[in-house]
Amino acid sequence: MLFKLTDEQKMIRNMVREFSRKVIAPTAAERDRTKEFPAGNFKQMGELGLMGMMVPEAYGGESADTVSYVLALSEIAYSCASTSVVMSVQNSIVCESLNNFGTTKQKQQFLTPLASGKMIGAFGLTEPDAGSDPVSQATVAVKDKDDYIINGTKRFITSGKHAKVVLVTAKTDPDAGHKGISCFIVPKDTKGLIVGHEEDKMGLRASDTTDLIFEDCRVPASWMLGKKGDGFKIAMSGLDSGRIGIAAQSIGVAQAAFDAAVAYASQRRQFGVPVTKHQAIRFQIADMATQIEAARQLMLSAASMKDRKEPYTKEASMAKLFASEMVNEVTARAIQMHGGYGFTKDYVVERLYRDARVFTIYEGTSEIQRIVISNNILKDKRK
């Protein structure tokens, strides 16, 4: 690996690798079939400090750097992408936003239980008619004395069913564009917050994705995260961090597909020799390894820029764009290398191919990443 890891980063990666392959991997295929949410995994991951890795120790986290976090997340994704998406949203977006924008009281009340893994968090930005363009969202929050009353529907919310707390964006000034959006911390048992339709998805089947419906949902004004009108900024900066996490998930899944393909090809014989003796397979292996390594370097580079507190929006989008496109190609190639067997549920590559498909879509499509990257290079906006 070109990027030089510290001893501590290597130690964290190795510890999570061992845990992930021993505890998470054996039940991943079963979870894919049954869609069972891996609550037990999250309990153990919380005990290991994986559910709020970058949260300061003062709030029960590990004060880990981003590089360690993405290495850990890749290792979890290697074994179970469904488990990794919950870990990613929890760490990258929910904990990160609370840590960056929360008051001491909000952090004590919400960040500490999140960091310990006792509480799962969700992030509610997307709506039925506002996906790539979150400024056009329709959810509103109207001030009523010391409270806000929230009305609207959020869609495709990761952990919508199992989360105990949701960070939700809503318009507090519908005529002010992105400056009219605020963010609220809403515990799931708040009256008027209803879990709606649960999606039946192609992949990530053990992670629940639901609608969240807010019907006259009353929250105290003190649960506003950041200042009034900060909601879009909070969401965008959370997504910067989240996008490095999607790169990490992509790399974990790609590495798993690659390892499976190499293992399969090494024992599969055709034309009297192992298929790895055929140049067609050798070149596939070379291309896949190069693609994964390139993505890993982009991920580590973006993560270390974040750790150095440098602007990293463009690099996070580059890592997400490249890694998510890469994993779709690598998992497709891994199936091809398995031949007909790769098309069956007997081989892990079938699940990995399905799990990877959403990585170019959620937390900003590939097209959105290209907008973010080009906006940052050209320093103006598209028309």
List active site positions. 363
135 binds ligand CAA (CB under 6 A): yes
User: Does 32 interact with ligand CAA (rule: CB under 6 A)?
Assistant: no
- CB count within 10 Å of CB 145 equals 7
CA torsion through residues 169, 175, 180, 184, sign: negative
Nearest to 52 by CA among 9, 14, 16, 93: 93
CB nearer ligand CAA, residue 70 or residue 334 = 70
Q: Which is nearer to ligand CAA, 99 or 291 (CB)?
A: 99
Residue with the CB atom nearest ligand CAA in the bound state: 364
Q: Classify 132 as helix, strand or coil.
A: coil
Pick out residues in 75-114 that bind ligand CAA (CB under 6 A): 89
In whole angstroms, how close is the CB of 229 to ligand CAA at the nearest point?
9
Nearer to ligand CAA, 80 or 265 (CB): 80
Interacting positions 217-276 with ligand CAA (CB under 6 A)? 232-233, 236-237, 239-240
Cβ closest to ligand CAA, residue 89 vs residue 323: 89
By CB under 6 A, is residue 371 in contact with ligand CAA?
Answer: yes
DSSP 144-190: ETTEEEEEEEEEEEETTTT-SEEEEEEESSTTSGGGGEEEEEEETTS
| Closer residue to ligand CAA, CB minimum distance, 223 or 362 | 362
Q: What number of other Cβ atoms are within 10 A of residue 230's Cβ?
A: 18
Report strand pairing: 273-274 vs 121-124: unpaired
Least distance to ligand CAA from the beta carbon of 90, Å? 11
Strand partners, 187: 165
Q: How far is the CB of 342 from ligand CAA (least distance, A)?
A: 27
Binding flags for ligand CAA, 58-77, as an x/- string (CB under 6 A): --------------------
Binding ligand CAA (rule: CB under 6 A), the pick from 117, 152, 180, 364 is 364
Contact 180, 172 (CB under 8 A): yes
Q: Report yes or no: 47 and 117 within 8 Å, Cβ to Cβ.
A: yes
Would you count residue 195 as binding ligand CAA (CB under 6 A)? no
| Cβ proximity of 235 and 307 under 8 Å | no
According to the binding rule CB under 6 A, does residue 368 interact with ligand CAA? yes
Structure tokens at 376: 């940052």
| Cβ count near 123 (within 10 Å) | 28
19 binds ligand CAA (CB under 6 A): no
Beta carbon nearer to ligand CAA, 258 or 312: 312
The 154-173 contact track toward ligand CAA, x by CB under 6 A, reads: ----x---------------
Q: In a 3-state reduction of DSSP, which class is residue 212?
A: strand
